[in-house]
Amino acid sequence: MDHKLVIVESPAKAKTIQKYLGAGYRVMASMGHVRDLPKSKIGIDIDNDFSPVYEISEGKDKLIAELKREIKTADAIYLATDHDREGEAIAWHILQAANIGKRKPVYRITFNEITKDSIQHAIRNPREIDANLVDAQQARRVLDRLVGYKISPILWAKVRRGLSAGRVQSVAVRMVVEREREIESFVPKEYWTIEADLSPAGLKKLGKHDIFRAILHARNGKKLDKFAIPSKDAADAVLAALEGANYLVGTVTRKDKRRSPAPPFITSTLQQEASRKLGFSSKRTMQVAQKLYEGVDIGGKDGTVGLITYMRTDSTNVSVDAQTEARTLITELYGKEYVPAKPNIYKTKAKGAQEAHEAIRPTSVVRRPDQLKTALGRDEFRLYDLIWKRFMASQMAAAIFDSTSVDIGAGAGIKTAAGAPFTFRATGSVLKFNGFLAVYNVSLDEGDEDEDKEALLPPLNEGQALDLHDLFGEQHFTTPPPRYTEATLVKQMESEGIGRPSTYAPTISTIVAREYVELVEKKLMPTTLGRVVTDLLVEHFKDIVDYNFTSDMEQRLDDIAEGQRRWVPVLREFYDPFAVRLHAAETEMRNVKREEIKTELPCPQCGTHLVIKWGRNGEFLACSRYPECSWTGDLERDGDGGIHIASQPEIFGNTNCPECDNPMSLKKGRFGPFLACNNYPTCKGIRKVRAQGKDFVVIPPPKPTEEKCPKCNRPMVQKEGKFGPFLSCTGYPECRSIVRLTPNDAPTCPQCGEGKVVAKRARGGRTFFSCTRYPDCTYASNALPVAVSEEVA
């Protein structure tokens, strides 16, 4: 029997595909990338056309050896990695790492969804590896390595070790920094509106919707702009002029307003809506979508099946079969009037979109979310439900609103609305046909207005008199732009052409992990570190963080993928001026001292102002008079970005220095928090602590015992561990013997003679020893009377 080997990235994907191919096929997972540039060096021969020096990824040696064994016995090899540039590159790297050569037929297969028909169609229609896609991904990887490895050392020298710069991540940080500065520099501008509560004249009893609100729209026939009434005095003057005015209905305009459904999801819009509706981070959204794509066991005859199409896409295209299936189900569930006369087709707006791909949709809308609820985890169900509803809505008829606009003439003694000195306007919108809204409505970002928000107006006719119930001026102030959320940052990156579907989630995760940006109440705020790094890059590497330059580079990479450019000339065009700028920056910054930020906070020790510095454990406050004054402390920020000295947690236990008996302060070290003597560096005494909620418990120093080590016969000491007290050999680290104290071998209670003495923890975190017969026996002690135990290590 023929033996064909199919190689994919993940075990979940392999399991699903194996089921569809059956006997004669062996499906293996590469577990992602099998080769990459080395971590310890740049790995690029710049002088030799940027030739990359790849090495087998860490931990992949055994996998490559297993692949080679399988390849030897296989009659044909199918590389079935994801159908984007990265998937193409992974397929090529597998080919190179396994050294397949031309000994066996090798085919590249791609599919948009992991279903039986799609997989079998791919097997019947293989192709060769697309060298253009590989080159585009290779160019991106080399480009990012050049930027990161060349600029990062400058950040290490001038800010903090361990920092990184990135072609996309640094631009994303700049966006967040510039938005925050825009908010900080924003000056609110005052403006007023004149508003009137009116109702049809002569009504003896007012109904729920008879009183409506109208806003002054024009004066003497001239439309008022937003700032036409700039102050209270101006508003009072208008109100005075309207004293005793009549109100008459002028023009009444009624029309149907259609609202079309949103297109099916692409990567960016999926991340945005999952953030708004589900509270998911971009990373979490993609992790859950990956599971839905690769296959979930839904039981029954289907078993494991891929539930959605490929989730890294920037195309809104939908297959004809998927549209037909959706239209059939819409008719069945909602009726014929919910199906548009022609299928809805959407034009992709993303720059450089790959039109050959499909939008994110269910592999079959017949699998309704409510039917899968018991088979899916909570996150998987909620995201699948969102994707299913969005896709179904995208294929449905538009919603129709009955929209009414009424102009109202106002003025003293007027007989008709025409020519009145003041014109008020009232608008109403009532849902007439819900259409796609029967299934799904798009969420709004902060600051967006819902144009279709329903507001009812009573029946009104031209010339009709109105009664005035209230007339008042309403004060307003312009507001600053809102801080970015993950959703709106992805939206802005897509709008600027920065990054691609596969990079949005990892970019945001990276800038948060690098502490350039932090999430405060789900809003992205730049840290001081993010501001400093951004300013440094803008000053010395303006092109790297320039929006247009970054977008243009993305387009060049797209051109490489489409075979319109060659990757080496593109990199050369970038690198030659970049190398000149790099040399100039290194020269300019050679004598510049390490970055620090002055604050207005006084030093608790000497009163001089504090500065923000960065160490390997993050940002901290330090006295500007260092080394004369060595005070340092943690900082904390409030919701508005204000900086304060962090409040010290409570420390339970003796906090005096074991060396000189002076007070100690809590510090952050490489291995976590600890207490350090306030006389440092004169005294280097420390005490270990253990976190207990937001506070800390001092770990007592080892206590001598009369016990001998069961391995080397050295004396043993009693220590406090995460799970209570234990005995440790004094010969550590040469001898690592420890002894756990357990109830079975614990000493007999000296008070009652029946129970055992075991360790317990008091409310404040202090460890003490008491009898197991408590409350019948009330024995308690700070020390263990006898140490009889078992060897555990």
| Other beta carbons less than 10 A from residue 225's beta carbon | 8
Report the pLDDT value the prediction gives residue 735, as an integer from 0 to 100.
Answer: 87
Fill in the amino acid letter for 609.
H
Residue 270 pLDDT grade (very low, low, confident, very high; cuts 50, 70, 90): very high
DSSP 509-533: HHHHHTTSEEEETTEEEE-HHHHHH
Q: What average pLDDT does this structure show over 620-638?
A: 81
Report the pLDDT value the prediction gives residue 788, as an integer from 0 to 100.
Answer: 33
Q: What average pLDDT does this structure show over 425-442?
A: 92
Cα 716 to Cα 651: distance, rounded to the nearest angstrom: 28
Under DSSP, is residue 350 helix (H, G, I), strand (E, B) or coil? coil
Report the pLDDT value the prediction gives residue 2, as an integer from 0 to 100.
Answer: 67
Q: Is residue 698 predicted with pLDDT exceeding 90?
A: no
Q: Is 781 exposed, middle or buried (0-12, 13-18, 19+ CB in 10 A)?
A: middle
Site of tokens 């030799």:
48
pLDDT in tens, 170-227: 999 999 999 999 999 999 999 999 999 999 998 888 888 899 999 999 999 999 999 9
Fill in the amino acid letter for 519.
L
Fill in the amino acid letter for 129.
I
Read off the DSSP letter of residue 103: S
Average pLDDT, the chain: 87
| Other beta carbons less than 10 A from residue 171's beta carbon | 23
Report the pLDDT value the prediction gives residue 304, as an integer from 0 to 100.
Answer: 87
pLDDT in tens, 341-386: 999 999 876 555 454 579 999 999 999 999 999 999 999 999 999 9
Q: Which CATH class is domain 267-394?
A: mainly alpha
Q: Is residue 582 predicted with pLDDT exceeding 70?
A: yes
DSSP 374-404: TTS-HHHHHHHHHHHHHHHHHTSPPEEEEEE
Cα 189 to Cα 234: distance, rounded to the nearest angstrom: 15
Report the pLDDT value the prediction gives residue 336, as an integer from 0 to 100.
Answer: 95
User: Of 499, 480, 479, which Cα lies nearest the Cα of 489?
Assistant: 499
Cα 646 to Cα 668: distance, rounded to the nearest angstrom: 13
pLDDT in tens, 376-412: 999 999 999 999 999 999 999 999 999 999 999 999 9
Report the pLDDT value the prediction gives residue 651, as an integer from 0 to 100.
Answer: 73
- % of the chain beyond a pLDDT of 90: 54
Q: Is residue 756 predicted with pLDDT exceeding 80?
A: no
Residue 665 pLDDT grade (very low, low, confident, very high; cuts 50, 70, 90): confident
Report the pLDDT value the prediction gives residue 786, as an integer from 0 to 100.
Answer: 42
Most confidently modeled range among 442-451, 460-469, 518-527, 691-700: 460-469
User: Of 639, 597, 638, which Cα lies nearest the Cα of 621?
Assistant: 597
B/e letters for 619-629, b = 16+ CB within 10 Å, e = fewer, are: bbbbbbbeeee
**Of residues 724 and 274, more confidently modeled:** 274
Q: Where are the domains of the chain?
A: 4-129, 161-185+487-582, 190-260+403-477, 267-394, 597-698, 703-791
pLDDT in tens, 637-652: 766 667 778 776 677 7
Q: Token pair for residue 176?
A: 């967040």
Length of the chain: 793
**Long-range contacts from 593-600, C-beta under 8 angstroms, 24+ separation:** 594/157, 594/158, 594/159, 595/158, 595/159, 595/532, 595/536, 596/622, 597/528, 597/532, 598/624, 599/643
Report the pLDDT value the prediction gives residue 579, as an integer from 0 to 100.
Answer: 92
Strand positions, DSSP E, 18-112: 25-29, 35-36, 44-45, 51-52, 55-56, 76-79, 106-108
Strand partners, 20: none
Percentage helix, strand, coil for the chain under 3-state DSSP, each rounded to 5: 30, 25, 45
User: Of 746, 753, 758, which Cα lies nearest the Cα of 776?
Assistant: 753
Report the pLDDT value the prediction gives residue 160, as an integer from 0 to 100.
Answer: 79
Report the pLDDT value the prediction gives residue 721, as an integer from 0 to 100.
Answer: 67
Which has the minimum average pLDDT: 247-261, 426-440, 450-464, 475-489? 450-464
Q: Residues 26, 30, 31, 32: what is their CA dihedral angle, to the nearest 10 degrees?
A: -140
Tell me the C-alpha to C-alpha distance, in Å, between residue 25 and each of 2, 3, 105, 126, 786.
8, 6, 15, 15, 66
pLDDT in tens, 70-111: 888 899 999 999 988 899 999 999 999 988 877 789 999 999
User: Of 298, 295, 292, which Cα lies nearest the Cα of 280?
Assistant: 292
Cα 714 to Cα 697: distance, rounded to the nearest angstrom: 29
Q: Where are the alpha helices (DSSP H) in 395-459?
A: none
B/e letters for 575-588, b = 16+ CB within 10 Å, e = fewer, are: beebeebbeebeee
CATH architecture of the domain with residue range 161-185+487-582: Orthogonal Bundle (1.10)
161-185+487-582 and 190-260+403-477, same CATH topology: no
CATH architecture of the domain with residue range 4-129: 3-Layer(aba) Sandwich (3.40)
Cα 729 to Cα 741: distance, rounded to the nearest angstrom: 14
- Say which residues have a Cβ less than 8 Å from residue 146's Cβ, sequence separation at least 6: 42, 44, 46, 571, 574, 575, 578
Q: What average pLDDT does this structure show over 312-339?
A: 94
Spatial contact of 651 and 695, defined as CB atoms under 8 Å apart: yes
Report the pLDDT value the prediction gives residue 790, as an integer from 0 to 100.
Answer: 30
Cα 368 to Cα 388: distance, rounded to the nearest angstrom: 8
Cα 470 to Cα 665: distance, rounded to the nearest angstrom: 63
Site of tokens 């992991």:
114
pLDDT in tens, 736-753: 887 766 555 567 777 777
User: Domain 190-260+403-477: what homologous superfamily?
Assistant: Topoisomerase I, domain 3 (2.70.20.10)
Known catalytic membership, residue 310 = yes
Q: Is residue 456 predicted with pLDDT exceeding 80?
A: yes
Q: Is residue 792 predicted with pLDDT exceeding 50?
A: no
Q: What average pLDDT does this structure show over 9-37?
A: 90
Report the pLDDT value the prediction gives residue 356, as an integer from 0 to 100.
Answer: 57
Report the pLDDT value the prediction gives residue 687, as an integer from 0 to 100.
Answer: 86
Cα 499 to Cα 507: distance, rounded to the nearest angstrom: 9
Report the pLDDT value the prediction gives residue 791, as an integer from 0 to 100.
Answer: 29
Residue 525 pLDDT grade (very low, low, confident, very high; cuts 50, 70, 90): very high
Cα 722 to Cα 739: distance, rounded to the nearest angstrom: 14
Which one from 310, 334, 338, 440 is the annotated catalytic residue? 310
Spatial contact of 581 and 540, defined as CB atoms under 8 Å apart: yes
Q: What average pLDDT does this structure show over 327-348?
A: 93
Report the pLDDT value the prediction gives residue 36, as an integer from 0 to 100.
Answer: 92
Report the pLDDT value the prediction gives residue 787, as an integer from 0 to 100.
Answer: 38
Residue 521 pLDDT grade (very low, low, confident, very high; cuts 50, 70, 90): confident
Report the pLDDT value the prediction gives residue 697, as an integer from 0 to 100.
Answer: 81
Residue 467 pLDDT grade (very low, low, confident, very high; cuts 50, 70, 90): very high
Report the pLDDT value the prediction gives residue 777, as an integer from 0 to 100.
Answer: 79
